Structure 1
Amino acid sequence: MAGSGGAQGAKAARTQDPEGTRQNIIEVASQEFALNGLSGARIDEIAAKTRASKRMIYYYFGDKEGLYLSALENAYRRVREGEAQLDIEGLAPLDALRRLVEFTFDHHHQHEDFIRMVMIENIHHGEYLERSKVIRQLNVTAIGTIEQIYARGLKDGLFREGLDPIELHWQISALCFFNVSNRATFSHLFGRDFGAPGAQEALRRNAVDMVTRHVVRPDRLVTLGL
Structure 2
Amino acid sequence: MDEALADKPAVKRARNSEKTKAAILVAGRAEFAERGFEGARVDAIAALAGANKRLLYHYFGNKEDLYRAVLLDAYQEIRRGERALSLDQFGPVDAMDRLVRFTFRHFLANPWFPRLLGTENIENARFLKTLPDIQALHSPLVGQIKTIMDRGADTGIFRRDVDPVQLYISIAALGFFYVSNMATLSVIFARDLSAIDMVQEREAQAVQMVVDYLKTRAG
Query: Is the pair's TM-score, using the shorter chain for normalization, greater than 0.5?
Result: yes
Partners of 1:219 and 1:123 in 2: CA distance: 39
Q: What residue number does 2:144 align with?
A: 145
Deviation at 1:134, TM superposition (A): 4.4
Q: What residue number does 1:115 align with?
A: 114
Q: Does 1:66 find its partner at 2:65?
A: yes
Deviation at 1:87, TM superposition (A): 2.7
RMSD of the TM alignment (CA)? 1.7
Deviation at 1:17, TM superposition (A): 2.3
Q: What residue number does 1:80 align with?
A: 79
Report which stretch shifted further, 51-60 or 196-205. 51-60
Partners of 2:55 and 2:218 in 1: CA distance: 61
Q: What residue number does 1:224 align with?
A: none
Q: What residue number does 1:163 align with?
A: 162
Partners of 1:62 and 1:122 in 2: CA distance: 23
Q: What residue number does 1:192 align with?
A: 191
Deviation at 1:194, TM superposition (A): 1.0
Show structure 1 runs of 5+ residues with no match: 1-11, 221-226
Matches within 5 A, 1:49-60: 49-60=48-59
Report which stretch shifted further, 167-176 or 47-56. 47-56
Aligned residue for 1:89, secondary structure, equals helix
Identity of aligned residues (%): 39
AA aligned opposite 1:105: F
Partners of 1:82 and 1:19 in 2: CA distance: 21
AA aligned opposite 1:43: V
Matches within 5 A, 1:1-226: 17-218=16-217
Partners of 1:84 and 1:172 in 2: CA distance: 16
Cα distance per residue 1:33-61 (max 9 Å; x no partner): 11111111111111112242111111111
Cα distance per residue 1:67-108 (max 9 Å; x no partner): 011001111111111111103111111110111001111111
Deviation at 1:204, TM superposition (A): 0.3
User: Scaled by the length of structure 1, what TM-score is found?
Assistant: 0.88
AA aligned opposite 1:168: L
Partners of 2:46 and 2:90 in 1: CA distance: 45
Partners of 1:216 and 1:38 in 2: CA distance: 42
Q: What residue number does 1:5 align with?
A: none
Partners of 2:203 and 2:54 in 1: CA distance: 44
Contact 1:14 1:21 in 2 (8 A): no
Aligned residue for 2:158, secondary structure, equals coil
| CA gap 1:54/1:216 in 2 versus in 1, 3 angstroms | same
Aligned residues: 209
Partners of 2:218 and 2:150 in 1: CA distance: 18
Partners of 2:26 and 2:200 in 1: CA distance: 28
Partners of 1:16 and 1:219 in 2: CA distance: 52
